[in-house]
A and B are shown apart, each in its own frame.
Chain A
Amino acid sequence: MISKLALYFEYPMVRYALIVGVLIALCSSLLGVTLVLKRFSFIGDGLSHVAFGAIAIASVLNLTDKMLIVLPVTVISAVLLLRTGQNAKIKGDAAIAMISVGALAFGYLLMNIFSTSSNLTGDVCSTLFGSASILTLTKGEVGLCIVLSVAVVLIFIIFYNKIFAVTFDENFAKATGTKTDNYNLLIAVTIAVIIVLAMNLVGSLLISALVIFPALSAMRLFQNFKSVTVCSVILSVICSFSGIIISILAGTPVGSTIVAVDVAAFGLCYLAGAILKIGA
């Protein structure tokens, strides 16, 4: 088995896949804690479906660089969803559900009507569940991913205290002089960027898993915000690393394998949390 792995690591694409996978897991879990606590668990799902719709438009328009349309559309949707969170006519979860299924339906519709591809079902399936595209990354894409990940981590560290204040009690933060709208905007844009990045890895249906599972697992084990954040990052990185390795060795789909490992980790953390509680 080890020799098989060593053989695979000879290929740059396997190394790229691991680098990108780990980085995306790291970024998504960083903001995951905030999103789960702000009751925005489903935003990953909603935004990734928006991104799916945008990809459909991009393929219909035959754009070579799909990012040009996918990224702005997703960012705008994220801003709209998170900003209108409090006094919207349609409340948070309903708005996300609406945008999410709407974009999904329109995306599929567009692809169906205008598609030139001979393997439509295959295309759709790979966008939804992640594809081999993580194994076909170019050097440029890996570079972009590294740059964006570093940016996300830096933003998170610099604004950590502000993100905490806004997450715990937005009204209080606003009343005492924190520019909460700006930080909500920042969170929205960051999460949109992460989701667009993560679509390569697990596809648009499974992104929520990357965002929420590490956070939920860590919340079983730790009792303060800093530890929860750090723990969720470590868990996420481990899960996604081992998920990729398993999928290479067993020949399973990358995205769903990573999510399966995340689910298993959550189960373990849940048990561990319960035992700790009894012990304490």
Chain B
Amino acid sequence: MALLTVSNLSLGYDSRAIAEGLTFSVSAGDYLCIVGENGSGKTTLMKTLLGLQEPVGGLISIGEGLKKNEIGYLPQQTIVQKDFPASVYEIVLSGCQGRCGLRPFYSKEEKALAGECMERMGIADLSSKCYRNLSGGQQQRVLLARALCAAQKILLLDEPVAGLDPVVTSEMYDLILGLNKDGITIIMISHDIAAAIRYASHILHIGDKVFYGTRDEYLSSDIGRSFAALQEKGVER
């Protein structure tokens, strides 16, 4: 059974739908890329999957013993975070907050987990550094480590490479691919169609036309071909 099954989902605000008829499923170990034009509802879809907003219509069902709060999330950076005075350790540890319930303080295991996640993301030496003084790539690693603290099975990434330079971007993609190889299911929003085609196992294209299928199916579909060609032109220019 799939980790996440979405059937005939409509997304939007105030019951006005901006995307309709989304049907797809995510199985354990998948690497799903969500692509589409600006304003097609990619971020809205992610927020709906996370339960931050209600779907306008349709169903999202979660299977295989995955609990609602076992989905890790890498959001786009907010303005608030740009100058936030917090150490890397404090931020990574806050990923464990969802497990705490009403318990006020973090347990030893949670602190150990935070250390482990920092190790895994290669930021253990930055532990006491201030978040706002880090580079963009390091900040993304911190947020990724926090997401790992929250969930070990499935991660939702909202444009994880936005604003990063090419070298750091490819490091970031490798890091994510590594997590996927370790068995973590990845759902990633991306503008970068080339990367989506290179790394993803499945692709969901939303916009005027909706496409869902494996990477190879996408490449041989009309919509995939035209979108990929467009992107290539952009790169050449």
Task: Report A's interface with B, CB cutoff 8 A.
Answer: 37-39, 157-162, 164-165, 167-169, 171-178, 219, 222-226, 228
Does residue B128 face the partner (Cβ distance < 8 Å to A)? Answer: yes
Main secondary structure of the interface of A (DSSP, over half): helix
Task: Report B's interface with A, CB cutoff 8 A.
Answer: 47, 50-52, 68-69, 71-73, 75, 78-81, 84-87, 90-91, 94-95, 97-100, 104-106, 128-130, 133, 146-147, 150-151
Would A176 and B80 be within 8 Å (CB), given that A159-B104, A164-B86, A222-B85 are in contact? no
Residue among A39, A175, A178 with the highest chain B CB neighbour number at 10 A: A175
A262 to B191, CA, bound (A): 47
For B105, list chain A residues within 8 Å (CB).
Answer: 161
Check if A175 sits within 8 Å of B51, measured CB to CB.
yes
Check if A178 sits within 8 Å of B104, measured CB to CB.
no
Check if B95 sits within 8 Å of A176, measured CB to CB.
yes
Check if A224 sits within 8 Å of B86, measured CB to CB.
yes
Check if A175 sits within 8 Å of B85, measured CB to CB.
no
Sample of 12 further A-B pairs with CB below 8 A, known A159-B104, A164-B90, A177-B69:
A37-B80, A162-B100, A162-B104, A168-B80, A169-B94, A175-B52, A176-B98, A177-B68, A219-B85, A224-B86, A224-B87, A224-B130
A276 to B202, CA, bound (A): 50
Question: How far apart are A156's CB and chain B's nearest CB, in angstroms?
Answer: 11
For A161, list chain B residues within 8 Å (CB).
Answer: 94, 97, 100, 104-106
For B71, list chain A residues within 8 Å (CB).
Answer: 175-176
Q: Which residue of A lies closest to B74 (CB)?
A: A172
A228 to B75, CA, bound (A): 25
Q: Which residue of A lies closest to B67 (CB)?
A: A177
Check if B130 sits within 8 Å of A223, measured CB to CB.
yes
